[in-house]
């Protein structure tokens, strides 16, 4: 019995903490960066996202249409890639993203960057 208890506790202590709401860990371009027109915008999250309920939209800071962009997910489900159909024109951009992971909590956020 005491072995079972010790085993269960060790198992739990060795496991990585779970159940955090998904968070944006990193992005390329980074928040606030000024870059050459990127071929893709990559968002990396802390949790595996459900692709059917997660996504992102690209909008221009000046309100003009940003053009179409395709949303893809990396195989591990933790990275979301936004691929513009055409090279981005110079100016400010905002990525409006949303994501749901296993804890069922829907999170949303924005990422801003400038194309030189």
Site residues, other proteins (CB under 8 A): 5, 8-9, 11-13, 15-21, 23, 47-48, 50, 52-53, 98, 100-106, 108
Give the pair of three-digit tokens for residue 27: 């992005």
Minimum Å gap between C-beta 85 and other proteins is 25
Q: Residue 96 Cβ, how far from other proteins at the closest point, in Å?
A: 12
Sign of CA dihedral 60, 66, 68, 69: negative
Choose between 9 and 36: whose C-beta lies nearer to other proteins: 9
Measured from the CB atom, the residue of 35 and 98 that comes closer to other proteins is 98
Beta carbon of residue 76, minimum distance to other proteins (angstroms, whole number): 10
Q: Are 32 and 112 in contact (CB under 8 A)?
A: yes
Of 9 and 90, nearer to other proteins (C-beta) is: 9
* φ and ψ of 10, to 5 deg: -65, -40
């Amino acid at each position: 019995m005491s072995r079972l208890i010790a085993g269960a506790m060790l198992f739990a202590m060795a496991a990585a903490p779970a159940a955090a709401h998904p968070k944006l860990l990193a992005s390329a371009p980074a928040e606030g960066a000024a870059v050459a027109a990127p071929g893709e915008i990559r968002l990396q999250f802390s949790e595996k996202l459900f692709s059917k309920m997660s996504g992102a939209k690209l909008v221009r800071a000046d309100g003009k249409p940003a053009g179409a962009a395709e949303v893809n997910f990396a195989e591990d489900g933790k990275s979301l890639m936004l691929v513009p159909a055409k090279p981005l024109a110079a100016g400010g951009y905002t990525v409006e993203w949303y994501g749901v992971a296993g804890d069922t909590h829907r999170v949303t956020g924005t990422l801003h960057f400038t194309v030189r």
